[in-house]
Structure 1
Amino acid sequence: MTLGKVAERAGVAVDTARKALRHDPSVRPYIKERVLKAAMELDYHPNLVARALRGNNLQIVPIAVLELGEFYYGELASQISRQLVQIGMEPALCFNPRHLMKMSRSFSTSGSILVFGSDYETVHELSRRQKVVTIDALLPVMPSVGNVSINFNAIYRHLAESLLRRGRRRVAIDSGHYLRCLDRGWPIQKIPAVFDVLAEAGLDTVGPNSRHVFGAAPELGAWLDAHPRSIDTVICENDLEAARVIGELAARGLKTPDDVLVVGCDANCKLAGMWSVKLDTNQIAVRAVAILKRLLDGDDVRDNPEYMPELLDEFDQPIPISRPAPALKTS
């Protein structure tokens, strides 16, 4: 099936059909609808490789995700993919910088979105050949690069302060992700704010080693067997791990939030009684793809948007930040 057949069925010129299928805003909505209907009826799919050869550019956008198994990163990659498809681009998952660079060179891709694991060398090299959008990357400002900042520092400071105001002072951290980031030298943007607030109050987290961080729920459960009542709050990497912690507590006759308050992150599978830091992956994805589109349109993007998460209590109600959040620092 050819584009000419689609244009003929829709009663438009081939160039108009091509623009409509690329979601070009210059095409009137009723014409675009007619072309899309014709393409669907004829089961037409554009040849992306042929398109790339004509324009020396392939409408594929690699999405770099180093931790796809983490619920938040997997959901964010899914939302970004949906947003890209809506603007006529094709998402492709990459799992390490080498894979990302290979795809960029092999297919002359239009741009890349780095969900996690952004390092200066990779981003700088990519930006020399295409547009790049990073998610919450602490990198210097670079040409052809945009960033969606997530103010984890402010929301986790707010979390720790809220816990202290409620008399919660025996705080534990359960995050295998945090430990992996330490081991691999990846940036850590959640837990340090909790350490800072507790230190300001003369406190430290409860934990099994010099890092004072549990790597998994069973490890925390074993600690409670050896040290009963030593913990009144557990801050977890995500909601799924929080659910596992609640299971460990229940096995020991402990309830949340009465005996031990459990805090998750992402609010996608929040259980009754727990708190969670809500991350709206759709909002983050919309911001990321909007920046990419502006870069591809030739804009010099300097007004990078910031996303502020919400803290939800055990009743799913937001706990408002009592003072303005500090601005993010860029290095």
Structure 2
Amino acid sequence: MRVSLKDVARQAGVSVKTVSNVVNDYPHVTPATRARVQQAIDQLGYRPNLTARHLRKGRTGIIALALPELGNPYFAELAAAVIDAAAQHDLTVLLDHTGGLREREILVSQGFSARVIDGLILSPIELEEEDLRSRTDSAPLVLIGERRYDLPYDHIAIDNVAGARTAVRHLLDLGRRRVAFLGARRDRLHQPAHLRVLGWRTELAVSGVVADEGLIAVTDGWDRPDGAGAMAALLDAGKKPDAVFAYNDLIAIGAMRVLSERGLRVPEDIAVVGFDDLAEGRYGAVTLTTVAPDKQAIARMAVESVVHRLAGVEYRARQLQPAFELLVRESTVGRAGAAAAGEPAAG
């Protein structure tokens, strides 16, 4: 039989209200009483009925997370982090895949066909500001991802320009001067790729290095084949760089494959830096130096923003910037250098 609050109260020798206060983590319970109730909960194996709790508050206990590409390891890792963060608030996460399509992003942002979610965390790619200005759904909305918006919603994104500058500065400090950028976009000035190109240009200029615009490779996608194609195109055009800064880890991994096929050594001939810190980059024959966004912080901030809005906390929309760090590995400093930097050797 299911253990009830009354069972726990009887075991602990307290009132049902006191047990409820402990279960709901209300502050006005003495440490001794809280410990006694928690001991009874553990002994009896009590589990709160989350569905009933949410229904009493007029909620479902479900938030939605809409991502552009679930097959991309970065978004898969981010989704796992959001699910873990939501669990800390007794929330379940409903995943949706938009494909980065504007019509799908509009549909998701405007609300589901039935009132099945309490809030939405959305990572848009093509959504325009006017699409969200006409939003009528009352469920709290939080934006994540690096596309810039001037909207009355919390937006959580790392500083892409600073991240790109950090990557390029690392390559310049190693003596590299012909730094290519793989993964630029055409006519999509609000996208993170544009911001990372801006960081690339800015750091080269600050360091007194003339940016060779011919070393910017445009790609149509974000995956390994896009990086491989971009790298091959540069080499075939005779534009051999001595370093590569890639829009993301997948593009970097595709580029490294082509370099290997062409007989070029990483990092001796060409150093490579990615972006995202995917698990795949840590276990290749040559481990990948990368800019690592704090995915756990992104997830935590996004979930807490929804929770605060649901609790009625009033504040102006915020632009939140989680931290990032450069993880130096073999693709820029070799095996010995990576070991000295604290990274394990490949294999």
TM-score relative to the length of structure 1 = 0.74
CA distance in 1, matches of 2:22, 2:134: 33
1:301 alignment partner in structure 2? 315
The match for 2:217 is 212
Equivalent pair of 1:171/1:206 in contact (CA under 8 Å):
no
235-244 or 117-126: bigger deviation: 117-126
Alpha-carbon deviation of 1:307? 1.9
1:246/1:112 CA distance change after superposition, 3 Å: same
Q: How far does residue 88 in structure 1 lie from its aligned partner after superposition?
A: 1.0
Within a 5 Å distance, the mapping from 1:26-45 to structure 2 comes to 29-30=34-35, 33=38, 37=42, 41=45
Partner of 2:328: 313
- Give the 3 Å change call, closer, same or farther, for CA 74–284 of structure 1 in structure 2: same
The answer to whether 1:231 aligns with 2:228 is no
1:234 CA drift (Å): 1.7
What do residues 248-271 of structure 1 show as CA deviations (whole Å, max 9, x unaligned)?
212222111110011111223335
Q: 1:278: how far off?
A: 1.4
Matched, 1:187 2:195: no
Please name the residue that 1:106 is paired with.
Answer: 114
Once the 2 structures are TM-superposed, how far is the Cα of residue 62 of structure 1 from its aligned partner? 0.8
Deviation at 1:8, TM superposition (A): 3.6
Cα distance in 1 between the residues matched to 2:41 and 2:147:
37
Match of residue 157, structure 1, among 154, 165, 185: 165
**Structure 1 segment 1-331 matched on structure 2, within 5 A:** 5-11=3-9, 29-30=34-35, 33=38, 37=42, 41=45, 46=49, 48=51, 54-96=56-98, 97=105, 98-103=107-112, 106-107=114-115, 109-117=117-125, 119-121=128-130, 123-124=132-133, 129-135=138-144, 136=146, 138-142=148-152, 145-175=153-183, 178-179=184-185, 182=186, 187-188=191-192, 189-198=195-204, 201-207=209-215, 212-214=217-219, 216-223=226-233, 226-227=236-237, 230-269=240-279, 270-271=281-282, 272=286, 274-302=288-316, 304-314=319-329, 315=337, 317=341
Distance across 1 between alignment mates of 2:254 and 2:121: 31
Q: Distance in 2 between matches of 1:128 and 1:224?
A: 47
Q: Which runs of 5+ in 1 are unaligned?
A: 319-331
Q: The residue matched to 2:272 in structure 1 has which SS?
A: strand
**What is the CA-CA distance between 1:83 and the residue it aligns to?**
0.6
The one-letter code matched in structure 1 to 2:123 is V
Structure 2: where are the runs of 5+ without partners? 99-104, 221-225, 330-336, 343-347
In the alignment, the residues of structure 2 paired with residue 38 and residue 146 of structure 1 have an alpha-carbon distance, to the nearest angstrom, of 42
Is contact 1:152-1:309 (8 Å) kept?
no
Q: What is the Cα deviation at residue 23 of structure 1?
A: 5.6
Q: CA deviation at 1:52?
A: 5.9
With over 3 angstroms needed to count, the CA separation of the structure-2 counterparts of 1:221 and 1:115, relative to structure 1, is closer
Aligned to 1:106, what secondary structure does the other structure show? coil
Q: Distance in 2 between matches of 1:34 and 1:108?
A: 35
- The letter of the residue matching 1:6 is S
Percentage of matched positions with identical amino acids? 24
The residue matched to 1:94 in structure 2 has which SS? strand
Instruction: Give secondary structure in 1 for the equivalent of 2:157.
Output: strand
In structure 2, distance between residues paired with 1:287 and 1:32: 31
| CA distance in 2: counterparts of 1:32 and 1:301, whole angstroms | 35
Partner of 1:329: none
RMSD value over aligned CA atoms? 3.6
Provide the rounded CA distance (Å) in 2 between the counterparts of 1:273 and 1:291.
Answer: 35
Contact 1:64-1:114 within 8 A present in 2 as well: yes
Secondary structure of 2:142's counterpart equals: strand
